[in-house]
Structure 1
């Protein structure tokens, strides 16, 4: 359970009343823990996965983008929610971790929907055409570059399009003035940037490590 700022019993209750992941996602979560060790915490939680699929379905996403793919859990969830004829473009720097993602995309039968682009996302995103516009984007990558990814995606986002951003609560540390580490400073600055952006409406959701939903006007 990633939501460390919730009472553990409440967190477990929430998970117990959320649609469970299937065997493919469960197997991917296990392999990620076994293969990546301490890095496994980079994987989204099951409740986030269910939410990503539902949001993609609700907004009828056809052109989706993911920045930070890791071993592929979130990309499977996004791809499963795409409208017929839709596609997902994924950006990541690791051939090793995304090799796991590729295998599980095949198992989940979503591989044909996904275009993986390896390299620094700030560079590769600039190669993404402005048209067709992006309907839905998910950012879950290096925190220092969140503002860069956000602006590049805003340039390509359709009116009414959504950007979802992970890890925006930092285990609740963003609200603790005594915490002043580098990552928390970057996330606070990003959260302030979004809340002051008159181009969007946003809401921070206390799901997992914080998920911010941003809608372009």
Structure 2
């Protein structure tokens, strides 16, 4: 709703690690009537490539991973040194295999409801006249994939010293790490721990 580039979001009701083969098959069958010509499969899991196959999408693009031969028919080999950032990796899947990415990728544009933004700032205690840095330090599938809290605190401190506000965002499950970051920032009045308070 907030990104004009996105026409439709399709949610698969399956938890992380859950095969849910029947649900994936039903969703794929429902999508057949939409006549999509390409699916860009971002996760490297075998499961993530099933719905596009079941939907009969003719071009199924993704990075090689988890034995997806036959599921993907436009399989790419990832050069992690050439594409160190996740955004570069995702953008590369949207390009042709031999197409060079632009040096600067276009930034997404969000459609903002000014009245809703004002109400949200008021509810969270955020100032309208001070720049805001939002940090999302959680790792949905475990802390091993998360940047250390001290690193987030160092980044937050850099902006707090420049008179910015810092909002620490996440679900209630992220409250421990956001509290640690807030503590590292010395309880700065412009550092807002909002874990579990947004939706």
Common fold: TM-score over 0.5? no
Answer 1 or 2: which has greater strand percent.
1
Q: Which has the larger radius of gyration?
A: 2
TM-score, normalization by structure 1 = 0.32
TM-score, normalization by structure 2 = 0.34
Answer 1 or 2: which has greater helix percent.
1
Higher relative contact order at CA 8 Å, sep ≥6: structure 1 or structure 2? 1
